[in-house]
Structure 1
Amino acid sequence: MERLFRWTFRIVAAVLLLAGLAIGVVYWLAWRSLPDYDATEVVAGLTAPVEIVRNTYNVPHIFGETDADVFFGLGYAHAQDRLWQMTLMRRTAQGKLSELFGQRTLRTDELLRRLGLYRAAVRSVAAQDDETLAMLEAYSAGVNARIEVINREARGRGAPEFFLFEPQIAPWQPADSIAIVKLMALQLSGQASEEVLRARASLILPEERLRDLHPDVPGKGKVVLASDLFPTLSQTQFAQADPEDDPFLWPVPRRGLSGASNAFAVAAERAAAGGALLANDPHMGLTAPTIFYLARLQLSTGGAIGGTIPGIPVVMVGRTNQLGWGLTSSYMDDQDVMMEQLNPDDITQYRTPDGWADFETERTIIKIKDAQPVTLTLRRSVNGPILTGRQFDLGTVTPQGYVPALSWTALAEDDTSLRTGLDLMRAADLDEGLAAARYFVAPSQNLMLTDGKRIAMQVMGRQPDRDELHQSQGRIPAPGWVEANRWKGTKPFEENPVWTDPEGGLLGNTNNKTVDTPFPDHLSFVWGDSQRVQRMERLLQARDVHTRASLMEAQLDTVSFAARSLLPLVGRDLWFTGDSAPADSVQRRRQVALELLAAWNGEMSEHLPEPLIYSAWMRFLQQRLIRDDLGPLTSEYPLMEPLFIERVFRNTDGAGAWCDVIQSTAPETCTEIARQSLDDALQFLEDRYGSRVEAWRWGDAHEARSDHPVLGDIPGLGLIVNIRQSTSGGDHTLQRGRTSGELPDPFLNVQAATYRGVYDFADPESSVFITSTGQSGHPLSKYYDDLGELWRRGEYIPMTLDPDLARAGAVGITTLLPVP
């Protein structure tokens, strides 16, 4: 027995020792890929030495003798910290993910191949002006120089992910940066998905109820039903068809999760210190690392600092000493789905106003890890690339004998968007900043500007030129062979709305509706916000003068206008009614919840139970209102729509009819539905968080999940690479924390301000910024998540354009020397 024990002990010890050695080897290999920020490297592609000075938070300040050398340095710095992220985005745009991940990304690759984003990027290289092309080439050379150093010095393949997946990295090219801009356009666009969902709903709902669920924001608009344009779609099985779940690394945003942002500008006369102010916080999906990377470039025209995106060689949002700029999604309707009718005698042809025409076709091969390659035949009509029913849920609204085509400005093959970024960094004043917007193509954005005195907002991006006789006005898929439905090109840049030097000295945008012009000059029927704008107006108008602190306060504001307006409406017949109920009863639990909500000011604080009660109540309320009318389509509306709830409880145009359950005999009232929904919500929360209502915390449910998009789901690794934080805010607060809406955790924070910047031109050096994770994409780096806790607490770090200050606080200086 003793001998058996000794051998068992030896075997266990040996296994543990081998496991420890394996972990040590893995750790050593991963550690090797951590960049040395205090090194000197001799690299090809430079004309003179470049310094990359890293400050306390690992923000690189890049100095060189020429602009080309500075862009080279930015490419090198991006590749030092985010090489895996860059190559993953490039592979996504190219439709080459399956070479790494196998069958689970085949649908993603198929979508990108059919859209042809990378093809359009390659063709756009020829459209660049000399200075933009020089920037792209210098940046590419910097990325490739870092890859060469990694290979030469065996620096752990550049990132730990390359030990798990294909280590070979193709050289970076100018087309790769243009392709990432186009990929961002796909991730920020939701108009095509909105068209499809609206069409599906129109097959089930009468016209007046469709207007409730998809209301205009605000005002009236034309309601067109899918069955009006395609009579064969009148059967409900099309609308209720169950689309496939999104595959791995799917780049198309779910409804409600396309681009969002806040931007505020205060002219000098409304600023306490006499210099204009600008604040910006783009809202994007939370990932680890975040999409933004902070950097400072010392160009020949002066310094530029702010948020860059790895793979793209410009400061996307930030400032110089002469200009500050921010971005918000404009929600321009720059996508249209066209249904192309196939020739029944020859499916290689589609119907046009002049008869049948041949599709433009091309064959492409998708290589798949551990599987046979797949060959696709890509087709294009004059309206755009032909998609399949598995993309954008198009199969739910495509009649037999038709195929869907997508018209979209981001498919342009003369995309000059990056010239806008270059010109903004070099602009001397507001007028030059406005002129830079002319070259931007997609994704359409609101460009907020200040030059220290004046302020302006310019809608940039190409705007489709639609015919006023368009059958659906772009609101649902339309027949592609009808001349009036086809785009007539794009409108001149001069027709894009612009607001300059407004009376009152204030500008702001929360993705709210900006113009109220009729179709086809409408810009959009679908907007990203109808609630945050109400709070923004109140905060901006409440002060005679503003400071940097007041704009920071606005960015971090967690009061929900939606909660303040909906709760009195929904609960108007429930407050303080009935006798005191027995302890531990359903009635008593409801009374406690209503008492808490009655005294609540709408602040979505992570420490309070009221935001959780309110959010759960509104979620269950909307589900009760729509599920008998929509059936399986109910799952496509997981997020509460405030305008819909308001229309129902105000009985706008008879919208109170939603409260009556169709299948029941006795008519239900909205008060009954509100009470039942509250009970549903409270039971859900009790099952999840315990029976003590007062002990519930919004932050326990509203956890910000910045997960690694590839390694985050791997058991064990997820604990290392994922960043989880309790957060305040919500769907409709200025400090936005968009919830997932999906069970089992419908209140997770999945989209928020991935960057915040506030620039004070009375004292530019006091400007501040923050991102949601950290600078490094390496999980073992101390800079992987060091900014995340500051971000969660609403703190910022300073941003300086003073070279001496940058060098004085340096924690490392990378010196790049040209090859002799």
Structure 2
Amino acid sequence: MRAVKKIFLTLLVVVFILAIAFTFYLSGLKPTYDGQLQLPNLSSEVKVHFDNHAIPHIYAENTMDAYKALGYVHAQERLFQMELMRRIAPGRLSEMFGKDLLETDKFFKTVGIHRMAKEEAARLKSSNSIEFQLAQSYLDGVNYFIKNGPTPVEFTLLGLDKSEYTIEDIYNVMGYISFSFAQAQKSDPIVTAIAKNLGPEYVADLDLAGHGKTEMIRNYPQNATMEKLSAKADEIMNSLPAPTWIGSNSWVVNPTKSATGAVIFANDPHMGFSQPCVWFEAHVVTPEWERYGYHAALFPFALLLHNRNYAIGLTMFENDDIDFYYNVEPTATIKEEIKIKDADPVTIEVQISEFGPIVSDVIDGLEDKPIAMWWTYLQTEQESMEAIHLLNHAKNMDDVRKGASKIKAPGLNVMYGDKDGNIAWWASAKLHLLGDNVDRNLVLNAKDSTHTNFRWLDFTENPQAENTPWNYVYSTNNQPDSIRGGYYPGYYAPEDRALRITSLLESKEKISVDDYKAFFLDNTSTVSAKIAHEFARQIEPQNELQKEAKELLANWDGSHSRESKAPVIYQKIIYHSLKLAMENKLDSGQFEGWLNTHLMKRTFDPLFHNDSSKWWDDLKTEAKETRKQVFNKAFVVSLEELTAQLGDVKKWKWGNVHTLEHPHPIGKVEMLREYFNVGTFKMDASDAVLNKLSFVRTSTGLYPITSGPSTRRLINFADIENSQSILPTGQSGNPLSDYYDDQAEFYTKGKWRKMMMNKEEIEQKAMGTVIFKSEN
């Protein structure tokens, strides 16, 4: 008995020691927020104060040192995110996740972003420009952390080795982000199939151009084949373990319109939700300059930023910068190797044409029907690094305009406001015009000169507005007004958000900071309300439940609060009405593909108000169906499904079906989900309101949110040090950090935190300070 007790006590001691050791191991993986660290070749020491949300405030005596420290603190919070993002464009995800990502890697190897990245990196390096020097200094900080810092737990779980980062990696991330902005790869093939199989009347009823009924940003310048192509693009983008870049809002009022007497600036870029979230915040100060910025993974320069003089925000321009061509001839063949975790590597042959890579080679069943992808990004020399550097280090509005002019792709709306009262927006992209009668929503003919001859536009011809007489500028990804008598083709958002923000901005003579906060969280769509009211006029209820549902729709104001019942009914009817109208005319899977396109959101409003549209008739029946019949059938089916799904109508609450979870790639493993993912939260809003929280419509009646505001920024030049923002989850990408999800509840409740800029306040409230000293 005494021996058993001794063994038991020994085991307890071993377990206790192992527990302590494991605790110390986990503690060692956390970011360093206090103490002294070394960095090679610093000119002088750099102090980094971390505020109570782990935002670094970097104080350096010179710019090179500042960027080196920025690289280190960025890497200690987001190294796995950097690793993930740098692997997408060069087709290296299979090395991380195995053969499940092989098709994705094949696709990106074919597109060729990595080939462009290699050329651009070599060009920048040979220039030895200030952009190159600062980017390299940032990478030196990242790479020093790789060598000397702890290994993130994701690397251990996936069995990944750490390796240094290069300028080429930065360009690969830039290229992927540019591609994720594009929409044509999803929609052009489906529109082509509709035109070919059903005829031009069906395309016309969808009002793809949208010129007749939409809110436009006002300028003030100073076939089966097609189905497979669309389905492949959809599959690729949905399979990525990284966020896509979706849309955005921004609005800026000048001192005349502002209740504070100074410019007020707002921006909330819409991106796919992920964990960690997209942005890493950093405040950098040297004797020469200051910047509070938002950095994408592996970006030395901020994409969103402000200082005491000016603010910059971004939204998607949504211009069409991708065209597909058939009747193409290969001009070169490139062999690409794809390494696969726990499997032999695969070699593919990529064919190149004068119109770009032949993407049909990586789509089953299309090998004998060559289709090439012409993309602005691959057709022009990029100046991305130079453009972003200039935006970060501008001296005045002219510098910002110049920086905006250097952006070729993706198309962006650069939003601007400054302390002197200037406001502006510039559509920043390298635009090109084909012939007037060429429909770029369709796949084009490489043998037709009207489809291939084009003219590049000068930046001065782009849509833009500076210091408007109506005292504000805004963008909600909606279509700009005509330029030189024509509309530039694109995949612009429907008018919901544009109508709402213009009505809110014009509803008051002066707009206050509190008004701004309310605008960010606004969840009302007047367009949705009008559609619901049209439904109600057409519906003929047959029982008490249907009467109650009809009344809810008839009286709905378009608000999407989590306690509301009307949006639950509305979204169900939207889905079933579209399904009844379209599925009988499209090939298998095409309807679901259409629901995933950007165009779908723009077209169902005009379609639902068009009583004579050809879409209402079911081509598989002898009778001629009407819009009223489709609406009533959709209404009955919707209520039956909601009753089966949710039970009593009292439980038909929007928050019960509209939820948000922030997914981490490791969280796909169910046993690890609760440790890596953040959420789930019941949410207000929808995909058609200012507080845009997007989802995909399916038959399930559930609307898990896929994208939304990646940050909310509110900058008041009358009180710059009390400007405010929020992140969806937290600053840190390290699941062991206390700042991994500390902002998640704030975000879901529409709360804010200060973007601190006052040095004395930062030093007083810092939860820790790291002092970097030179290793030499």
TM-score (norm 1): 0.86
Q: Per-residue CA shift, 1:603-643, capped at 9, x if unaligned?
A: 10012222211111211121112122225222223369465
Answer yes or no: is the 8 Å Cα contact 1:55–1:811 preserved in 2: yes
Cα distance in structure 1, aligned partners of 2:34 and 2:205: 60
Number of the residue aligned with 2:470: 504
Answer yes or no: is the 8 Å Cα contact 1:624–1:673 preserved in 2: yes
Q: 2:661 aligns with which of 699, 702, 705?
A: 705
Q: Identity across aligned pairs (percent)?
A: 24
Q: 2:294 aligns with which of 307, 315, 337?
A: 307
Q: 2:532 aligns with which of 542, 567, 575?
A: 567
| 1:246 aligned onto 2:235 | yes
For residues 113-512 of structure 1, the aligned pairs below 5 Å read 113-128=109-124, 130-150=129-149, 155=150, 157=151, 159-213=152-206, 215-219=208-212, 239=227, 243=231, 246=235, 250-251=239-240, 259-342=246-329, 350=330, 359-388=331-360, 390=362, 401-411=368-378, 414-452=381-419, 453-463=421-431, 465-468=432-435, 472-486=438-452, 488=454, 490-512=456-478
Distance 1:680 1:650, change over 3 A: same
Distance 1:484 1:609, change over 3 A: same
Q: Per-residue CA shift, 1:25-83, capped at 9, x if unaligned?
A: 77764443111211211221422212221100111111111111111111111101000
Higher alpha-carbon deviation: 623-632 or 121-130: 121-130
Q: CA deviation at 1:243?
A: 4.1
Cα distance in structure 2, aligned partners of 1:20 and 1:668: 74
Cα distance in structure 1, aligned partners of 2:18 and 2:568: 45
- What secondary structure sits across from 1:246 in the alignment? helix
Distance 1:341 1:381, change over 3 A: closer
Higher alpha-carbon deviation: 785-794 or 606-615: 606-615
Distance 1:680 1:180, change over 3 A: same
Number of the residue aligned with 2:45: 49
Q: CA deviation at 1:191?
A: 1.9
Cα distance in structure 2, aligned partners of 1:479 and 1:550: 50
Cα distance in structure 1, aligned partners of 2:303 and 2:26: 31
- What secondary structure sits across from 2:281 in the alignment? strand
Number of the residue aligned with 1:551: 516
Q: Per-residue CA shift, 1:565-600, capped at 9, x if unaligned?
A: 1011122133xx66xx7xxxxx22211212223333
Number of the residue aligned with 1:228: none
Answer yes or no: is the 8 Å Cα contact 2:535–2:553 preserved in 1: no
* Superposed structure 1 runs of 4+ greater than 6 Å apart: 11-27
Number of the residue aligned with 2:579: 623
Answer yes or no: is the 8 Å Cα contact 1:240–1:631 preserved in 2: no
Number of the residue aligned with 1:104: 100
Answer yes or no: is the 8 Å Cα contact 1:712–1:721 preserved in 2: yes
Cα distance in structure 1, aligned partners of 2:732 and 2:231: 37
Distance 1:252 1:96, change over 3 A: closer
Number of the residue aligned with 1:226: none
1:364 maps to amino acid: E
Q: CA deviation at 1:486?
A: 2.7
- What secondary structure sits across from 1:179 in the alignment? helix
Distance 1:131 1:488, change over 3 A: farther
Cα distance in structure 1, aligned partners of 2:336 and 2:538: 62
Q: CA deviation at 1:489?
A: 6.6
Distance 1:220 1:764, change over 3 A: closer
Q: CA deviation at 1:300?
A: 4.4
Cα distance in structure 2, aligned partners of 1:572 and 1:604: 21
Aligned residues: 757
1:383 maps to amino acid: F
Answer yes or no: is the 8 Å Cα contact 2:36–2:772 preserved in 1: yes
Answer yes or no: is the 8 Å Cα contact 2:229–2:360 preserved in 1: no
Answer yes or no: is the 8 Å Cα contact 1:121–1:413 preserved in 2: no
Answer yes or no: is the 8 Å Cα contact 1:288–1:706 preserved in 2: yes
Cα distance in structure 2, aligned partners of 1:274 and 1:620: 49
1:410 maps to amino acid: Y
Distance 1:239 1:414, change over 3 A: closer
Higher alpha-carbon deviation: 628-637 or 313-322: 628-637
- What secondary structure sits across from 1:774 in the alignment? coil
Q: CA deviation at 1:777?
A: 0.9
Higher alpha-carbon deviation: 119-128 or 720-729: 119-128
Q: Per-residue CA shift, 1:420-470, capped at 9, x if unaligned?
A: 22222222322221121122222110001011201000011222x33326x
Cα distance in structure 2, aligned partners of 1:373 and 1:604: 49
| 1:683 aligned onto 2:640 | yes
Answer yes or no: is the 8 Å Cα contact 1:198–1:476 preserved in 2: yes
Q: 2:713 aligns with which of 746, 754, 757?
A: 757
Cα distance in structure 2, aligned partners of 1:629 and 1:287: 36
Number of the residue aligned with 1:635: 592
2:212 maps to amino acid: G
Cα distance in structure 1, aligned partners of 2:353 and 2:12: 62
- What secondary structure sits across from 1:769 in the alignment? strand
| 1:808 aligned onto 2:773 | no
2:147 maps to amino acid: E
* RMSD of Structure 2 on Structure 1 (CA): 3.1
Number of the residue aligned with 2:218: none
- What secondary structure sits across from 1:269 in the alignment? coil
Distance 1:16 1:704, change over 3 A: farther
Number of the residue aligned with 1:356: none
Cα distance in structure 2, aligned partners of 1:207 and 1:55: 59
Number of the residue aligned with 2:219: none
What are the ranges of 5 or more consecutive residues in structure 2 without an aligned counterpart? 215-222
Q: CA deviation at 1:739?
A: 1.1
Q: Per-residue CA shift, 1:480-508, capped at 9, x if unaligned?
A: 24343336574322222220111110111
Q: CA deviation at 1:275?
A: 0.5
Answer yes or no: is the 8 Å Cα contact 2:692–2:709 preserved in 1: yes
What are the ranges of 5 or more consecutive residues in structure 1 without an aligned counterpart? 222-232, 343-349, 351-358, 582-586
Q: Per-residue CA shift, 1:726-776, capped at 9, x if unaligned?
A: 111101000001112245464111110011101111111121111111011
Distance 1:666 1:14, change over 3 A: farther
